[in-house]
């Protein structure tokens, strides 16, 4: 097994009297896809926000490449190589595909025009198209606005952007939600490509067949606690559902 790339140990998060996470731990290795599953209210979204730097945990520790880190905001996590795709995709509909791919990382023109803040739209269009093609995302011309794309195409652009920019970890929150079978299949292939690049991938989904297809390991949350952490090969569809709902007794966590 490759080295541990990203890890949280004993993370807890409370909102007033509500305990969203209680002593949750998760490891992610380079070139590994980990599925994070659980019913609504299990704590998945809170854990994702802790991992992405959106929320600071009340207790616990976070490690990146074996070094303890503390994110004060998502930008710090982003600059450390952690890309997060939330369910709303985070795209700006009025901007073109290329400008969305380079949102926050815009290329400016050289010379005086660049100093004045003029963007190099042509360079961004060419690079955006090449990057999306490299990670297996097929979308129309990158100079079209996102508002002109279908829902599936918008999701593809968002995922392609995340994979193209990620240097260490990519966190995908319900990336196949509301997609047709073909488009969902393309997303799963992109996840496999990210794994081949040596990225660590955390895949959150309610679509359990997709989780079983593409992950190496599955972490199950229930009521804010990790109740199972085991290789995907140890689950079937029925046992995964049973573990999520609590109808199957949990097994001691696998030492990943």
Residues 197 and 244 both lie in one domain:
yes
> What's residue 134's pLDDT?
66
Whether residues 173 and 252 share a domain: the answer is: yes
pLDDT recorded at residue 130: 73
Same domain, 74 and 195: yes
**pLDDT at site 185:** 83
Task: Pick the last residue of a domain from 108, 136, 165.
Answer: 165
Q: Are residues 200 and 224 in the same domain?
A: yes
The single-letter DSSP state of residue 218 is E
Are 64 and 178 members of one domain?
yes
Sequence-ordered list of residues with C-beta below 8 angstroms from that of 193, at least 6 positions apart, any chain? 135, 136, 163
Tell me, yes or no, whether 77 and 173 share the same domain.
Answer: yes
For residues 209 and 106, membership in a common domain is answered with: no
Clarify whether residues 66 and 175 are in a common domain: yes
One domain for residues 186 and 204: yes
Domain boundary among 107, 139, 165: 165
Structural domain of 155? 93-165
Q: What per-residue confidence (pLDDT) applies to 145?
A: 80
Do 51 and 114 lie in one domain? The reply is no
Show contacts of 188-194: CB within 8 Å, 24+ apart.
Answer: 188/213, 188/214, 189/136, 190/135, 190/136, 190/137, 190/159, 190/160, 190/163, 191/33, 192/33, 193/135, 193/136, 193/163, 194/33, 194/135, 194/163, 194/166, 194/170
Examine the pLDDT at 248 and tell me if it is beyond 60. Answer: yes
Q: Are both 156 and 172 inside the same structural domain?
A: no
Pair (77, 191) in one structural domain: yes
Which position has the higher pLDDT, 107 or 11?
Answer: 11
- Taking the model in full, what pTM does it have? 0.82
In a domain, 87, yes or no: no
Q: Element (H or E) spanning 44, and its range?
A: helix 44-52
pLDDT per residue over 149-189, tens digit each? 777 777 777 877 777 777 899 999 988 877 778 778 878 88
pLDDT in tens, 226-236: 999 999 999 99
Percentage of the chain beyond pLDDT 70 is: 86
More confident residue, 136 or 60: 60
30, part of any domain: yes
On the question of pLDDT at 243 being above 70, the answer is: yes
- Residue 113: per-residue pLDDT: 66
Write out pLDDT tens, residues 116-134. Answer: 666 767 777 777 777 777 6
CATH number, position 252: 3.40.50.300
Number of domains in the chain: 2
Is the pLDDT reported for residue 56 higher than 70?
Answer: yes
């Amino acid at each position: 097994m490759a080295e541990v790339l990203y890890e949280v140990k004993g993370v807890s998060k409370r909102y007033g009297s509500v305990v969203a996470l209680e002593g949750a731990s998760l490891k992610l290795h380079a070139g590994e896809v980990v599925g994070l599953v659980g019913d609504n209210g299990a704590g998945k979204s809170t854990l994702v926000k802790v991992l992405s730097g959106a929320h600071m945990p009340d207790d616990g520790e976070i490690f990146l490449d074996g070094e303890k880190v503390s994110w004060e905001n998502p930008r710090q996590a982003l600059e450390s190589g952690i890309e997060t795709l939330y369910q709303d995709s985070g795209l700006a509909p009025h901007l073109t595909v290329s400008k969305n791919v380079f949102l926050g990382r815009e290329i400016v023109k050289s010379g005086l025009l660049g100093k004045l803040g003029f963007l190099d739209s042509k360079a961004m269009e060419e690079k955006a198209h090449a990057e999306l093609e490299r990670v297996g995302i097929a979308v129309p011309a990158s100079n079209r606005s996102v508002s002109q794309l279908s829902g599936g195409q918008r999701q593809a652009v968002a995922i392609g952007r995340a994979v193209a920019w990620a240097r260490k970890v990519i966190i995908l929150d319900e990336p196949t939600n509301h997609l047709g079978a073909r488009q969902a299949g393309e997303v799963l292939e992109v996840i496999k490509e990210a794994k081949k690049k040596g990225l660590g991938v955390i895949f959150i989904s309610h679509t359990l067949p997709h989780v079983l297809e593409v992950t190496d390991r599955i972490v199950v949350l229930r009521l804010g606690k990790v109740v199972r952490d085991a290789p995907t090969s140890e689950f079937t569809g029925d046992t995964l559902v049973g573990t999520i709902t609590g109808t199957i007794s949990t097994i001691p966590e696998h030492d990943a």
